[in-house]
Each structure stands twice: as C-alpha cells, then as structure tokens.
Chain A
C-alpha cells in the first residue's frame, strides 16, 4: 500500500499553490519533499490526510481515495497515519502523557493500563522517558517536536507525515530528529513523507527526494541523483545559490 497523488491541484482564491502534483510514495519508502518556503509543501501534506480538499485530482492512501471517504472512514484512515506538525501542535492544556494518549483514547476497547504502557513505549522511542507530567510550555523546541513524534507513532501508524520536523532547531537537535526519523522508518517499517527545506536532513533521511516548484513536482530522484542533477532550480536549492536561477526559487 502506498500514498499516491494524481494531478492534485489546490488554489486559495487566485493563488494556485498545487498545480497538478503527481507523486507516489511506495510502501516502506521515505520521501523528502523539498521546496522553497511558501511553495505549498505543507498544503501537499494536508491534502494527504484530508485536512484540505484538493480542487482537482486524486489523493489515494492505503488504496482509499481520501476525498471520497465518509467522515468515519476518514477518521479510520487517519488512525493509520501519524502526522508530525511543524511546531508540534501539542495541546497546551495537557501534559505530555495526555498529549501522547489522545489518539489512543479513540481506540475502542483500549484500557487505561494499555494506554499508559503504549505512552511509555512511545516516549521511550523518542528518548523522553520520565517527561510524562511536564506541560508543553516546560519543553524545549526539540523536546516538543519529539513529543509530537511520540504522539504520532503511539497509535502504531503505517504512514508518518513530517511537516518540517527540523525547522528552527540547532544542528545537534536536527541530527537527533533525523536519527529518530530513520529509526521510525527502520523499526516501525512505516512509509514516510518528510517535508523540509533542510537539504542535509533530506539527504540523511530520504530514500528519494522530490522537489516542489511552482506548484509542480519538478524533480524526483535518490539523494545521489539529486546531488548529481544539472537542473538549475534543484541545484540552486541544494547548494543554496540563488545566482543559478536569480530569485526564481523563492
């Protein structure tokens, strides 16, 4: 089973953000989607879980066309998809334990003991054992992102979607998060999409890299192919050189 986008188009008023996206992420694969700020990377991710509905085209997850699902079917699908938000999106009023337990409490028949065990396991996977009683306001940026990841993996998803997981983090914490993404893919055998504009991260975690540019997938390739490509826009992004394409990238 995989994630597949066929001709996905999304506009906000006159501004076309996604203009016919075709992308397939195969089972067990980690694909990094790179692109400039405002290129529509987060919009792309939100269409996959049905937070945004495409104006045209089709998003298929686990063999199901997202836009055609009834609300209960959509929620059923979302239980199979973990979503890590850019700024973690932790619930301010809840401690770490309750944040991670939120998704588990939707699973019928799961008792409090089983939930507590799963929360401890998930926190342990992101190296945050013992943080259960802390409030989100008492955590650093990196810790918040790790709690967000623990919350996403707690329900045992088949798919993990990361929205800029390393944005705003120092290089060491970025490496920690990258390592976690790799561990999740390896240990949990999940299919992942990582939205990022951090090329080091993309090279570290991805099996394939796709570049989103002007609403379309401009390029897809392995990290080695990405580094070797002659495409000026991709090279400009990879090397951080606007002189290759002027200001076109941003």
Chain B
C-alpha cells in the first residue's frame, strides 16, 4: 500500500525513535561502565596492557601526521605572512595552530580510525562469537574486563600521544623553517614564545582527554551492541569510526566555546 504524503513523516518519526533508542542504550552503557569502575581487581592490570596497545602503538601514526602537518603549516605560514608581518610569526602560527587545534584534532581523528575501529571490531567479534557470554559465565563482568581498561587507557594515553604529536609537529615546522625558509632558529623560537601561554597546553590536553574518552567509549559501545555475524562487526566498526570522528569535531567546538 502506498504511504503517500505520510511516508516522509513516518521516516522522520522512525529516525527520531531510532536515534532516541541509541541515546537510551548509550545511557545504559555509560551507567554500566560507571558501576564497573569499583571492580579494580578485574581491570587493574589490564589498563597497562591497553595503555600500550592504544597509546604506545598509536605513536607512529600520530607522529607521522604531526610531522607533516608541521611542515605544511610552516610553509603555508610563510606564504601567508608576507609584507609587513615579521617572518618570525611563522613560529607563532605553527606553535599556536599545532597546540590549540591540529595536534589534538588530527591525532584524535587518526586514533578514531585506528583505536576506535580496533576496539569496536574486537569487542564486536567477541560478542558474535559468544566470548562475552563466556566471560559472564566465568563470573567476569564484561564491562570491567573489556570496557573500563580501554576507556581509562584512552583517557590517559590520548593526552600523552598528543603531547608527543604537538612536539613533533612543532619540530617539523622548525626544521622546515630553518631549511626551506629564510628563518633562523632564534627567530622561529621567538615567534613560538611570543604569544605562548601555558594554558594552551592545558587546553590541548583537556581536548585530547575528552577525545580519548569519546573514541574508546564509542568503540566499546558499538562493539557491545553488535548482533549477528561478520557483516554486523563491519557495520559496528564503521559506525564507531564515523560517530567518534563526528564527536571529536563537536567536542572541539565545545571546548573552544567553553574555554577560549
């Protein structure tokens, strides 16, 4: 039977209900995550393992992105700052942009792909192969065993990775400035320091921690919600990456509005 003009309205209604259901399930998930936190006996030693997997193993990709971002920023700053503006502002632009924005955001987006996808695929596979049920039957709370270590590791390690990314980004900008631009090290450093505010680093770390929380909890959420088979794992992985990336951009704007 044709739905006629009511079709689009029904679609909007269904979409709204589906979205509300996802929010509801995510609320339940975060509640369960909170209840699992006191169970440190289960997640204690696993946090260290996850810190290595999510943080240390993510360093190469994060540093690679940061280094090239620094190079490009340095060249674009030099291209933009012509005429009356002193060239040492290249250092200012590279430093400010890397620390305030590109360091945390590009690292966050890269880790949404690497870490978020990894978590959703791993937990999703465990869900569809009944490994999560097996954990339950062996008296393990899956939230304590799987979700809490990953979320805590993300919360701690994303800022650590971002600190390294910020440093390497600025280093890339500096090497470019002294080799490809007519800029000396003292000039670059002068530009870097002239508007430097320690708050910038705190801002970068707060953003990174919130991105870590978002990416890991979204990855865990979609992993736990997986039902079906291999196709469902693939879908959960994609959803985790897309939603994490969107959430990073929303959080980026949120912190800019709230803290700057």
Per-residue B-contact encoding for A44-68, CB less than 8 Å = 1, 0 else: 0010011100000000000000000
Q: In B126-146, which residues have CB < 8 Å from any A CB?
A: 126, 129-131, 133-141
Residues of A within 8 A of B135 (CB): 102
Q: In B217-237, which residues have CB < 8 Å from any A CB?
A: none
Q: In A44-96, which residues have CB < 8 Å from any B CB?
A: 46, 49-51, 71, 75-76, 78-79, 81-83, 85-87, 89-92
Residues of A within 8 A of B141 (CB): 71, 75
Judge whether B140 and A102 touch: CB under 8 Å: yes
Which of B125, B126, B130, B136 touches A78 (beta carbons < 8 Å)? B136
CA distance A81 to B139 in the complex (A): 10
CB B31 to nearest CB in A, in angstroms, measures 13
CA distance A237 to B34 in the complex (A): 48
Residues of B within 8 A of A90 (CB): 131, 134
Which of A49, A51, A87, A155 touches B129 (beta carbons < 8 Å)? A87
- How many residues on A have C-beta within 8 angstroms of the other chain's C-beta atoms? 24
CA distance A74 to B134 in the complex (A): 14
Judge whether B139 and A85 touch: CB under 8 Å: no
CB A84 to nearest CB in B, in angstroms, measures 9
Judge whether A91 and B139 touch: CB under 8 Å: no
Per-residue B-contact encoding for A91-129, CB less than 8 Å = 1, 0 else: 110000000001100100000000000000000000000
Judge whether B138 and A51 touch: CB under 8 Å: no
CA distance A51 to B141 in the complex (A): 12
CB B146 to nearest CB in A, in angstroms, measures 11
Judge whether B138 and A92 touch: CB under 8 Å: no
Judge whether B129 and A78 touch: CB under 8 Å: no
CB B48 to nearest CB in A, in angstroms, measures 16
Chain A: CB-nearest residue to B136: A51
Residues of A within 8 A of B139 (CB): 75-76, 78-79, 103, 106
Judge whether A89 and B130 touch: CB under 8 Å: yes
Judge whether B136 and A91 touch: CB under 8 Å: no
Chain A: CB-nearest residue to B125: A92
CA distance A147 to B205 in the complex (A): 46
Judge whether A106 and B129 touch: CB under 8 Å: no
CA distance A75 to B136 in the complex (A): 8
Which of A71, A78, A87 touches B138 (beta carbons < 8 Å)? A78
Chain B: CB-nearest residue to A163: B130
Q: In B41-68, which residues have CB < 8 Å from any A CB?
A: none
CB B215 to nearest CB in A, in angstroms, measures 21
Residues of A within 8 A of B126 (CB): 91
Which of A51, A81, A82, A102 touches B133 (beta carbons < 8 Å)? A51
From known contacts A85-B130, A86-B130, infer whether A49 and B140 are also in contact, taking CB-CB under 8 Å.
no
CB B92 to nearest CB in A, in angstroms, measures 47
CB B150 to nearest CB in A, in angstroms, measures 14
CA distance A155 to B139 in the complex (A): 11
Judge whether A78 and B131 touch: CB under 8 Å: no
Judge whether A92 and B137 touch: CB under 8 Å: no
CB B145 to nearest CB in A, in angstroms, measures 10
CB A4 to nearest CB in B, in angstroms, measures 19
Residues of B within 8 A of A71 (CB): 141
Q: In A9-35, which residues have CB < 8 Å from any B CB?
A: none
Judge whether A83 and B134 touch: CB under 8 Å: yes
CA distance A82 to B136 in the complex (A): 11
CA distance A155 to B134 in the complex (A): 14
Can you sample 16 A-B contacts with CB below 8 Å?
Answer: A46-B133, A49-B137, A51-B137, A78-B137, A78-B138, A78-B139, A87-B130, A89-B130, A89-B133, A90-B131, A91-B131, A91-B134, A92-B129, A92-B131, A103-B138, A151-B138
Smallest CB-CB A-B distances: 7 pairs: A75-B139, A89-B130, A89-B134, A83-B137, A103-B138, A106-B139, A78-B139
Given contacts A85-B130, A85-B134, A90-B131, 8 further A-B contacts (CB under 8 A): A78-B137, A79-B139, A81-B137, A83-B134, A86-B130, A91-B131, A92-B129, A92-B131
